[in-house]
Amino acid sequence: MLKLYYSPGACAMASHIALEEAGADYVLVKVDLKAGEQKTPAYLAVNPAGSTPALVTESGVLTENLAIMAYVAHLHPQPGLTDRDAPYDYHRMLAFNAFLGSSLHPAIGKVLFSRPPLEGEAKTAALELALSKYDLVEQHLFTGPWVLGEIYSAADGYLSVFTRWARAAYLLDPARYPKLNAHLDAVQARPAVQRVLMQEGLQPV
């Protein structure tokens, strides 16, 4: 059985959603990031990087959402994750997820989670950069109604993590980001995502 180490509401939610959408057989292990559990010897033995997510498989441990979601898609090649037998769609999903992980995530993470918090010009510059990443998704990378068009994929769950963060911080202006707001509502309405929110002790935003 798969075992997912996660922190509620953190980026690991993307892997959690992928597992739930796939109907995978898995168990959850909560890691309290605020309490520093990711830095304990017990967790560092699972993921020496001291971050979530981490997925324990029968072959070993996988880390990073991009790898975990691709692994789940390979285990469950079906609509709802993107069938690996549709190579163009599958690799479009990988490309989009790579952008989220390497570009959007660090940009919005710097705005919301820097310690100590950013102030003044540094905060303004970081916020402008982060919002420009959301602009790129809204105006160019997002097809609609789902990331890949008519096909729901693991990329939709991943995107919803960062639009949740932005909406909770009052940064996802409906006038500036109408497609991203509609997309977040649609993702949060999915039964699998509602189960994930319940399991993580969260509410839709």
Provide the token pair at 49.
Answer: 């990087």
* Same domain? 67 vs 123: no
Position 154 confidence tier, pLDDT thresholds 50, 70, 90? very high
- List the CATH number of the domain containing 30: 3.40.30.10
Position 89 confidence tier, pLDDT thresholds 50, 70, 90? confident
* Same domain? 101 vs 35: no
Instruction: Supply the DSSP symbol for 152.
Output: -
Query: Is 43 within a domain?
Result: yes
- Nearest-CA neighbor of 196 among 167, 152, 148, 161? 161
* Same domain? 157 vs 91: yes
Residue 126, pLDDT above cutoff 60:
yes
Query: Is 204 within a domain?
Result: no
* Same domain? 93 vs 42: no
The residue-averaged pLDDT of 9-16 equals 98
> Roughly how many angstroms between the first and final C-alpha of the chain, as a whole number?
31
Q: Domain tally for the chain?
A: 2
* Same domain? 45 vs 103: no
Q: How many CB atoms lie within 10 A of CB 176?
A: 13
Which tens digits make up the pLDDT trace of 29-86?
999 999 999 999 999 999 999 999 999 999 999 999 999 999 998 888 765 566 666 7
pLDDT at 90: 85
* Same domain? 97 vs 144: yes
Residue 7, pLDDT above cutoff 80:
yes
Which tens digits make up the pLDDT trace of 180-189?
999 999 999 9
Please report, for the chain, how many H helices and E strands are present, in that order. 9, 4
* Same domain? 98 vs 169: yes
Query: Is 130 within a domain?
Result: yes
What's this model's pTM, rounded to 2 decimal places? 0.95
pLDDT at 80: 58
- List the CATH number of the domain containing 186: 1.20.1050.10
Residue 116 makes CB contacts below 8 A (sequence gap 6+) with none
* Same domain? 151 vs 63: no
* Same domain? 15 vs 38: yes
Query: Is 168 within a domain?
Result: yes
* Same domain? 159 vs 133: yes
Residue 151 CA to residue 89 CA, distance in Å, equals 9
Query: Is 66 within a domain?
Result: yes
Q: In what order do the strands lie in the sheet with 2-6?
A: 26-30, 2-6, 54-57, 60-63
Domain boundaries, position 122: 87-190
